[in-house]
Amino acid sequence: MINFIGITKDNHLEKNVSINNAVLSNYKWFWVDFSEPTKEEIKYLSDTFHFHPLAVEDCVQEFQRPKLDYYKNYTYYVTHIVREENKTIIKDELDFFVGESCIVTFHKVPSIEVSKVWNHILSMESLVDCDTYYVFYEILDKIVDNYFPIIYRIEDDLEKMIEISNSKSMNRLMNELFETRNMLLNLLHTINPMRDLLYRMLNSHHLNLNRVGERREYFSDIYDHLLKLSEMVMSNREVTSDIRDSYLSLNSHQTNNVMKLLTIITSIFAPLTFIAGIYGMNFENIPELQWKYGYFLSLSVMVIIGVAMLLYFKRRGWFK
């Protein structure tokens, strides 16, 4: 589907115009949105707008890394939209062709961000201060803002994980931790390239050649948000590592306590087993076997040895 908005030179908005019937030169600026385009509609990128073949190729192929390419009369941007389904990060690509008199958005799946800005433009009473870079900023800002709820949800899950970590089995906790770390890594692979894209925009000499320079403060604000997002992701990855290490340390400590108890029991019963083994041998010439009080004496010796070893281990602090 191809949607069209045109702003005339006297700042009137025209919508529901077919791209085939629109006289593009009559507009002050216009916005064309390619939403889930067909192969025939994709041809408009080359045939009508005459975009560079390399840009069109990058636009059609998936999945490009967030980037920007400067061309003669426009700039080509690749951005990533992130959404979450069943605790799985889904990335969708949103491409922009931005020039002084036109902005073209291209996405193969429906975009909430584009729809919100599209409806916002249609509802504006005055379009005097609105231009293609305003549209580009608004969409880009909403893309970045939609990263935050996912990270906030992950932070909430980590807090719950910390509170009830002792009541979970090790396998379950580890599975949840690695799923969370995988989500954070996927977010990082999107946020960092987006941050680099904004950094390049703000520090390139091309900035002063178009109207991006007039909105530098706004794009700088998006860059600051991406820096914050990157720091949040890295911080949460460190939290997952701390939870994992703490739980492994606790589990190791509990295992050591169990092994210590088993070692004490084994140490106590080792001499008792030795005594029982000697008198359990089937030799006829064992003097104590014929003694009337031999049985009671052997039991008494075993009890004394056991109690003595218990007291010894207790004095050494093995039961603390």
User: Within 10 A of 196 (CB to CB), how many other CB atoms are there?
Assistant: 16
Q: Can you give the residue range of the structural domain that contains 216? A: 2-250
Positions of the chain with pLDDT under 70: 164-170, 205-214, 246, 250, 253, 319-320
- How many helices (H) and strands (E) would you count in the chain? 9, 7
Q: What pLDDT does 313 receive? A: 77
The domain boundary residue, chosen from 221, 250, 279: 250
- Do both 124 and 264 map to the same domain? no
- For residues 134 and 28, give the distance between their C-alpha atoms in angstroms, rounded to a whole number: 14
Query: Does the CA dihedral 245-248-251-257 come out positive or negative?
Result: negative
Quick check: 53 and 21 in contact, CB under 8 A?
no
- Name the pTM for this structure: 0.75
- Do both 96 and 242 map to the same domain? yes
Most distant CA pair in the chain: distance in Å? 124
The domain boundary residue, chosen from 201, 235, 250: 250
- Do both 39 and 139 map to the same domain? yes
Q: What pLDDT does 166 receive? A: 58
Q: Report how many domains make up the chain.
A: 2
The CATH number of whichever domain residue 299 belongs to comes to: 1.20.58.340
The domain boundary residue, chosen from 250, 276, 305: 250
Q: What pLDDT does 30 receive? A: 85
Helix (H/G/I), strand (E/B), else coil: 31: strand
User: Within 10 A of 264 (CB to CB), how many other CB atoms are there?
Assistant: 16
- Do both 44 and 108 map to the same domain? yes
